[in-house]
Amino acid sequence: MSRFIKVVGLGLKYGTFISTSGFVLVILIQIFARLFLATAPSWTEEAARVFFVIAIGCSAGLALRSGEYVNFDFFYQRMSPAWQRRLSFAIDLFTVVLFAIFTYYAVGFTIMGWAERSPSLKFPMAIPFAGMLLLGLSLLLYAVHRLRRHFTTNSPGK
């Protein structure tokens, strides 16, 4: 499982880099067009949204993996180690449940997207909708991995 987690993490890093680069490039094209051309291409706003959604989908799991989400350390540090473990376990368990439900509905949402077309880019809307599926799957994967650690170590899921 550890090798699989590393390979997925590497794929998510590349996906984040590529989609963020695409987002920045499209925004620069849009800025240039608004400053120096009569009108900006209509596809730039839509492309920027798609790149942004995919970037968030790729980076959300990585943020969970590295513990970059907001923590309430003020209260957490004042708890005993036993309560810290209980709270960490409960948070990780609720995260797994929440993103299992989220991913279930994201699958249906993505499948619905095959019937719709993007207004200006004319590709299936399943492509940007898949960003939500990617977000759910990556968060679910890393949340399950964190939850598993509660049973294999004494550390609070980190």
Per-residue pLDDT of the chain (158 residues; tens, 9 = 90+): 689 999 999 999 999 999 999 999 999 999 999 999 998 898 999 999 999 999 999 999 999 998 887 677 778 888 899 998 898 899 999 999 999 999 999 999 999 999 999 988 999 999 999 999 999 999 999 999 999 988 887 655 55
Distance from the Cα of residue 23 to its chain's centroid: 15
Single pTM value for the model:
0.85
Residue 135 domain flag: yes
Domain-embedded: residue 119:
yes
pLDDT at 134: 96
- Domain with 72 in it: 2-152
Tell me, what's the pLDDT at 153?
Answer: 73
Does residue 33 belong to any structural domain of this protein? yes
Determine the Cα–Cα distance for residues 56 and 120; give it in Å rounded to an integer.
Answer: 22
In the 8-state DSSP scheme, what is residue 151? H
Within 13 Å of residue 102, how many CA atoms lie on the same side as its CB? 21
The one-letter code for the residue type at 115 is: A
Query: Can you say whether residue 109 is alpha, beta or left, with left for phi > 0 and alpha for psi between -120 and 50 degrees?
Result: alpha
On whether residue 158 sits in a domain, the answer given is: no
Within a domain: residue 47? Answer: yes
Query: Does residue 82 sit within a domain?
Result: yes
Please give the tally of structural domains in the chain: 1
* pLDDT reported for residue 73: 77
- Asked if the structure places residue 157 within a domain, the reply is no
Model pLDDT, residue 40: 86
pLDDT at 77: 84
In a domain, 109, yes or no: yes
* pLDDT the model gives residue 1: 65
Interatomic CA distance for residues 54 and 133, integer angstroms: 10
